[in-house]
Amino acid sequence: MSKVHLIVDGAIAELRLDNPSKLNALTVPMLEALDAHCVALERDPSVGAVIVAAEGDRAFCAGADINAWSELPPAQFARHWVRDGHRIFDRLARLSIPTVAAVSGHAFGGGLELAAACDIRVMAPGATLALPEAGVGIVPGWSGTQRLARLLPEPVLKEMALFGRRLTADRALALGFVAEVADDVGAAARAIAAGTGEASPQAAEIAKYMIHGAVGEDRGAMIEALGGGMIAASADKAEGVSAFRAKRKPKFRGR
């Protein structure tokens, strides 16, 4: 049974980690399930927003399960564990649908990187954020030194990655890393996600592409997605396809 569930309730979907006995630590099957769910969400036009949440209130996600990677040979660790995880988190970050992380407990390592892959975050008052990788002899591998460098000031990120300091909810709010600190993060995240129901889905999608292009989140793909959307709606595209099917020369009109 998958330990990452996809629950769709009307226009709001929820990706829920369900491994509380291990503080929702991520395993290979969980990463694969997250990947598959993101593919399904991208193809579901009925979903207007996605909440990423977790079972239990002790930990949103304690990071990667050490048993899943500790015995991997160096080449497999780099080629598969790091790159596959990075690819999956990138897929979440680049969903065309707005995403909200409901951080109900501590988010460490890969758990923090998972929250960072969402568009915005809501955090419980007693939760903390950390990058403890150096304490077990490794470095962040799923965008902890890349995406987080765009979301947090450099000195703060260094505090966490180099010195092992934790970031409290209040400080994360002051830094703009979280949108809200709330006792009931699920309700807060759902209230935020519900706002997409009043917005044009296409406008929200394009705005997300534009912002991602500006901050460097897969800039090349974002630019081509915007250009592709513009040309796909043109009369010239319709004429080109029609001419190809009719095996005739197209008569483009520039519109």
Task: Please list the active-site residues.
Answer: 113, 133
Measured between alpha carbons, how far is 32 from 34 in angstroms, rounded to an integer? 5
Partners of residue 53 on adjacent β-strands: 16
- What is the signed CA dihedral for 228, 196, 144, 82, rounded to 10 degrees? -60
The three-class DSSP label of residue 199 is coil
The three-class DSSP label of residue 253 is coil
The radius of gyration of the chain from alpha carbons, rounded to an integer in Å, stands at 20
What type of residue sits at position 100? V
